[in-house]
Chains A and B, each alone.
Chain A
Amino acid sequence: MTASMRLRAAIVAVALVVLVVVAAPDRAATAAEDGARPPIPQQLWSFAGILGKYDDAALRRGFLVYMDACSGCHSLRHVAYRDLSALGVGFGPEDIKALAAQFKVEDGPDEEGKMFRRPALPADRIVSRFPNKQAAQHANRGMYPPDLSLITKARRDGTNYLFAFLTGFEEPPADAEVTPGMHYNRYAPGQQTGMEGVLSEDLVEYDDGTQASVPQMASDVTSFLAWAADPHREIRHSIGVRVVIFLLLLTLMLYALKREVWAHLHERKEEAAAAARARNEDRDHPDQAEMPH
């Protein structure tokens, strides 16, 4: 190894290290923003990883929590009633029709040019408690309760963050400064939030007999909202596994084909090189070469 090669190897190594540092998520920066905020604990989600699946029962319980605890303030405006068929048992076409019909949406104008209210249909988006953003803001002391359709994507490490946030409401420590009208939360940015800790023991009644503890409800509603943000996750992964296996095999075969095609070229070069070598040897040792006379 020459000195320049060693130097080059060293520089490449430095470049790789820098690349890793650059590519690494900037957790450090986020943590530094508000010093007191503890790191977000990592949970084991059934849907984590490539082979993970949503737990239908958890999604159903989570939907119940959303309806009972969240929907009073937070909309879910990108999810349609018919999308809930992904929740499985109890969400057949008729169930969804009946569920949607409990809510009213504005439609029209009718033949007389009047707007009217009608029961929601499965194709309608989940009806929000408030007619618009301003109304929601007005009812919540000027703070807009964010729409939850994409909430797990709209926060860094969103799924774990949401669970941490929902279980992070507690009595503020003595040294914490909480702005009037705000509520202390261990994991919120600045450790305070406009939302109250709404989850309390047995707030909802699960019909599958699960004990409605706060972590249980938080976990269920987080699963449900993770699904709401990424409803095609399972199909995406299952197609992906097949596509990637196919492409890997294809690439390997293409590489074998390349070797095969180029082999002829290498043979040609070897022969030419051997010929050149032979010529050079003749030239270097003329006395040993056969002389034509």
Chain B
Amino acid sequence: MATRRWKNGFVRWIDARFPIFTATHHQLYEYPMPGNLNYWWNFGSIAGIILVVMIFSGIFLAMQYQPNTAEAFDSVERIMRDVNYGWLMRYIHQTGSSLFFAIVYIHIFRGFYYGSYKSPREITWLTGCLIFFAMMATAFMGYVLVWGQMSFWAATVITNLFTAVPGIGESITTWLWGGYAVANPTLNRFFALHYLLPFVIFAIVALHLVALHTTHSNNPLGVDMKGPQDTIPFHPYYTVKDLVGLGAFATLFAIMVFFAPDALSEPDNFIPADPLVTPEHIVPEWYFLPFYAILRAVPDIGPIPAKLAGVIAMFGATLIWFLVPWLDRSKVRSAKFRPLYQVFFWVLVVNCLVLGWCGKQLPEGVFLTISRIATGYYFFHFIVLLPLLGIFERPRPLPYSISAPILTPSPVSPAGRLELAPAAAGDEARP
């Protein structure tokens, strides 16, 4: 990397030894960003910022929290009542976890829509999937720390899933618990891991960014950047655009923290954990509901008992994301130019919402039927539709480059009006 000529001697001294100024300058001004990113591209930076918010609020909570079954619930209440602004830290952390998932889901589905997982961004996508996995583990263990009824029973239900593993299931579960039931050793290790994992996530985020900055951002058209006419510097254009999104997000965050902090909480979790009393409905937090529905939807499959099949399906539902770059055979990235995929994308969104809704109901009657259909469709989308669409779908003509649709007026548009999406024009122009 060529050393820039910095005017200030001190800066020059540092930069020659540790090129922080050159690197920053490179990322802000030389690193090429596509000029056409829409607001859906805000969610990556928002997710990064909320991760930091979660780590900081979490550290302050950990200073007051007691990871002991006899004191955990009370220590949370002490934070809420007696610690100065403890309620604020706790509500930021609690609401933050929900919003973190909401943001990350949007970020992932943005990737699905615009084909951000396709070559050459597979590693960016894979690291992202790893982050999501680590997030699920972290959120689950964090929820257990509250040690309310729902915490305890969620821990019991989820750790019991491992008993489904043939042969060694019981031993794995005992090992996870550190005993023969969810108890103090379980809470202790969950606290240790809940503190550790966010830093692991932070490290994977770094990998995610290295991969991203090697292949550069995808964009709504999904075509590669062909030259300087397609790119703009990150600063000031995307710093300010990201700030707009961040401002809007922070406003929503504040509204939830200050005015509806418990809107997403289960009333049962305000009752201290009691191993002798099972709550009427055990439901996870909203962000796990689709996976919970899949878990409970699967019946016995041949020699595989329903429990094991459900566990495989539930983990498979996220593991399958790792394969998406290779399941999707279409070379066209953006759904903008994929008339069929575009429709199926939205069907998948609706399908996931339906699964989430089923996750909240008892698994019986019509809900079970719907869960089964939706679970089947979920896997059908990834395993059957994605590969087949790549073969049978006829994509719309792609623009030559990001700036091409702007620089070249489409031949059929009347009065030289600029057509940002050249698709329609291209269709008609096709012989």
Question: What residues of chain A have their CB less than 8 Å away from a CB belonging to chain B?
Answer: 2, 4, 7-8, 11-12, 14-15, 18-19, 21-22, 26, 29, 33, 50, 78-80, 83, 146, 149-150, 153-156, 158, 229, 231-232, 236-237, 239-241, 243-244, 247-248, 250-251, 254-255, 257-258, 261-262, 265, 269, 272-273, 276-277, 280
Contacts of A237 in B (CB 8 A): 258-259
Per the CB 8 Å criterion, the residue count for chain B at the interface is 57
B residues adjacent to A (C-beta < 8 A): 35, 74, 77, 80-82, 87-88, 91, 229, 232, 236-237, 240-241, 243-244, 247-248, 250-251, 254-255, 257-259, 261-262, 265, 267-268, 270-271, 280-281, 339, 342-343, 346-347, 349-350, 353-354, 356-357, 360-362, 403, 406-409, 416, 418, 424
Assuming the contacts A4-B339, A26-B360, asked whether A243 and B267 have C-beta atoms less than 8 A apart, the reply is: no
Main secondary structure of the interface of B (DSSP, over half): helix
**Chain A residues, CB < 8 A from B80:** 232
A12, A22, A236, A276 pick with most chain B CB within 10 angstroms? A22
Determine the residue in chain A with the shortest Cβ distance to B232. Answer: A265
Considering the chains assembled together, what is the distance between the CA atoms of A76 and B315 in angstroms?
42
Tell me, rounded to whole Å, the shortest Cβ–Cβ distance linking A52 to chain B: 11
The interface residues of chain A lying within 8 Å CB-to-CB of B82 are: 80
Q: How far is the CB of A111 from chain B (nearest CB, A)?
A: 27
Closest A residue to B345 by beta carbon equals: A11
CB atoms of B408 and A280 under 8 A apart? yes
> How many Å from the CB of A64 to the closest CB on chain B?
22
Are A240 and B353 within 8 A (Cβ)? no
Query: Chain B's nearest CB lies how many Å from the CB of A129?
Result: 19
* A83–B81 alpha-carbon span in the complex (Å): 9
Give the distance in Å from the alpha carbon of A256 to the alpha carbon of B194 in the complex: 40
Q: How far is the CA of A240 from the CA of B85 in the complex (A)?
A: 13
B353 nearest in chain A by CB position: A18
Question: B251 contacts which chain A residues (CB < 8 A)?
Answer: 244, 247-248, 251
- Given A26-B360, A237-B258, 5 other A-B contacts at CB below 8 A? A79-B81, A83-B81, A150-B77, A240-B258, A243-B258
CB distance A273 to B409 under 8 Å?
A: yes
Q: Which residues of A contact B342 (CB under 8 A)?
A: 4, 8
Q: Given A150-B270, A244-B254, A265-B232: A251 and B237 within 8 A (CB)? A: no
Given A11-B343, A26-B360, A272-B406, verify A258-B244 contact (CB < 8 Å): yes
Residue from the list A21, A154, A277 in contact with B416, Cβ < 8 A? A277
Contact of A236 with B407 in the complex, beta carbons under 8 Å: no
Q: Which residues of A contact B346 (CB under 8 A)?
A: 8, 11-12, 14-15
Given A18-B357, A254-B244, is A11 in contact with B254 using a C-beta cutoff of 8 Å?
no
Nearest CB in chain A: distance from B259 CB, A:
6
**CB contact under 8 A between A153 and B74, given known A18-B357, A280-B408:** no
Verify B416–A29 contact, CB threshold 8 A: no
Q: Is the CB of A276 within 8 A of B77?
A: no
Q: Which of A8, A154, A257 contacts B268 (CB 8 A)?
A: A154
Residue in contact with B271 in the complex, picked from A146, A257, A265, CB distance below 8 Å? A146
A-B contact pairs, 23 of them (CB 8 A): A4-B339, A11-B343, A11-B349, A19-B353, A21-B357, A79-B81, A83-B81, A150-B270, A231-B81, A236-B87, A236-B258, A237-B259, A240-B254, A244-B254, A247-B254, A251-B247, A251-B248, A265-B237, A269-B403, A272-B406, A273-B406, A277-B416, A280-B409
Instruction: Check A276/B254 contact, CB under 8 A, given A50-B259, A232-B87, A261-B236.
Output: no
